């Protein structure tokens, strides 16, 4: 018997805890809507001192991280990238967790925005510098939530998630950087291209990065790209 491995990616994963909530690192918090309470994770950068405001990234995970522990959402994509290179991310990062879907208007989407508000309030997040991003199911949620609440965000980073071209008239006002692997599902690749082209045609600002030969997991490359981090930090709501 022969066992072979290809493209193995080993990553240290965050272990958020509910201790020392003001110190740099990953922490577990709760947020409540009505009588319902949910857990989520937040990353505090080492530069945070409670005196000045910081840019904020709201990250939406994929379908594989659905649940209610508040931790798995920080262990894939942006959270894993931050854990490996924390010094490169001078931003607050919010990791809500969906039970079903990130589509706008859903309970999960409402809790994601509530977690964002909780971090902005308690950690001096800059409301004018909020980046909405997500992968796969979360990439689709990025398109959807932004279309429903465009005034909340400075820019969008959808990763391998499909959007609705009908929302382009709303989305054209937001800077977008979309990522996809060209070996992903044809419908996903074509949709990402179509969304970017439609935003351009509508007079908006959008760019796309396609990774050659990469299937569905384009997020590890995207979130560890220094150019993306620099771009995210430079965005501000007009």
Q: Output the DSSP codes for 58-75.
A: EEE--GGG-SSSSSGGGS
Asked if the model's pLDDT at residue 109 lies above 60, the reply is yes
Asked if the model's pLDDT at residue 70 lies above 70, the reply is yes
Mean per-residue pLDDT for 24-45?
96
Mean per-residue pLDDT for 72-93?
96
State residue 208 phi and psi, 5-degree precision.
-135, 140
Residues 6+ apart with CB under 8 A from 10: none
Mean per-residue pLDDT for 40-45?
97
Rounded to whole angstroms, how far apart are CA atoms 124 and 50? 7
What's the number of CA atoms in the CB half-sphere (13 Å) around residue 116?
23
Mean per-residue pLDDT for 67-76?
96
Going by C-alpha positions, the residue among 187, 189, 226 that lies closest to residue 210 is 189
Rounded to whole angstroms, how far apart are CA atoms 174 and 190? 21
In a domain, 21, yes or no: no
* Full DSSP string of 58-127: EEE--GGG-SSSSSGGGSSTHHHHHHHSGGG--SEEEE---SS---TTSHHHHHHHHHHHHHHHHHTEEE
Asked if the model's pLDDT at residue 101 lies above 90, the reply is yes
Greatest CA separation for the chain: 60
Going by C-alpha positions, the residue among 75, 47, 48, 37 that lies closest to residue 59 is 75
**Bridge partners (DSSP) listed for residue 176:** 156, 206
In a domain, 180, yes or no: yes
Asked if the model's pLDDT at residue 145 lies above 70, the reply is yes
Work out how many domains the chain is built from and give that number. 1
CATH number at residue 200: 3.40.50.1820
Residue, of 129 and 20, whose pLDDT is higher: 129
Residues 6+ apart with CB under 8 A from 133: 57, 58, 59, 60, 78, 142, 156, 157, 158, 159, 232
Its domain, for residue 100, covers: 29-234
Reported pTM: 0.94
In a domain, 3, yes or no: no
In a domain, 101, yes or no: yes
Asked if the model's pLDDT at residue 1 lies above 70, the reply is no
Residue 16: what pLDDT?
A: 83
Strands 125-135 and 176-181: unpaired
Asked if the model's pLDDT at residue 106 lies above 90, the reply is yes
Does residue 24 contact residue 44 with C-beta atoms inside 8 Å? yes
Asked if the model's pLDDT at residue 11 lies above 70, the reply is no
Mean per-residue pLDDT for 160-174?
98
Residue 21: what pLDDT?
A: 75
Asked if the model's pLDDT at residue 144 lies above 70, the reply is yes
In a domain, 17, yes or no: no
- Residue 17's pLDDT band, with cuts at 50, 70 and 90, is confident
Residue, of 115 and 6, whose pLDDT is higher: 115
pLDDT tens, position by position, 202-238: 999 999 999 999 999 999 999 999 999 999 999 999 7
In a domain, 2, yes or no: no
């Amino acid at each position: 018997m022969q066992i072979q491995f290809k493209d193995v990616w080993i990553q240290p994963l965050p272990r958020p805890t509910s201790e020392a909530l003001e110190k740099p690192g990953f922490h577990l918090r709760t947020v409540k809507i009505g009588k319902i309470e949910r857990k989520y994770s937040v990353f505090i950068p080492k530069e945070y001192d409670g005196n000045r405001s910081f840019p904020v990234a709201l990250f939406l995970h994929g379908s594989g991280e659905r649940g209610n522990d508040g931790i798995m959402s920080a262990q894939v994509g942006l959270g894993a990238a931050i854990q490996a290179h924390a010094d490169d991310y001078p931003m607050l990062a919010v990791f809500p967790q969906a039970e079903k879907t990130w589509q706008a208007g859903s309970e999960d989407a409402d809790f994601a925005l509530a977690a964002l508000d909780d971090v902005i309030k308690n950690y001096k997040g800059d409301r004018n510098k909020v980046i909405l991003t997500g992968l796969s199911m979360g990439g689709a949620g990025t398109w959807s939530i932004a279309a429903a609440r465009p005034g909340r965000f400075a820019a969008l980073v959808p990763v391998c998630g499909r959007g609705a071209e009908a929302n382009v008239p709303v989305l054209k006002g937001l800077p977008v950087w979309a990522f996809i692997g060209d070996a992903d599902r044809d419908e996903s690749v074509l949709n990402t291209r179509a969304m970017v082209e439609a935003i351009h045609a509508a007079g908006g600002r959008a760019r796309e990065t396609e990774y050659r030969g990469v299937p569905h997991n384009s997020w590890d490359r995207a979130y560890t790209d220094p150019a993306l981090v620099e771009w995210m930090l430079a965005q501000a709501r007009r």
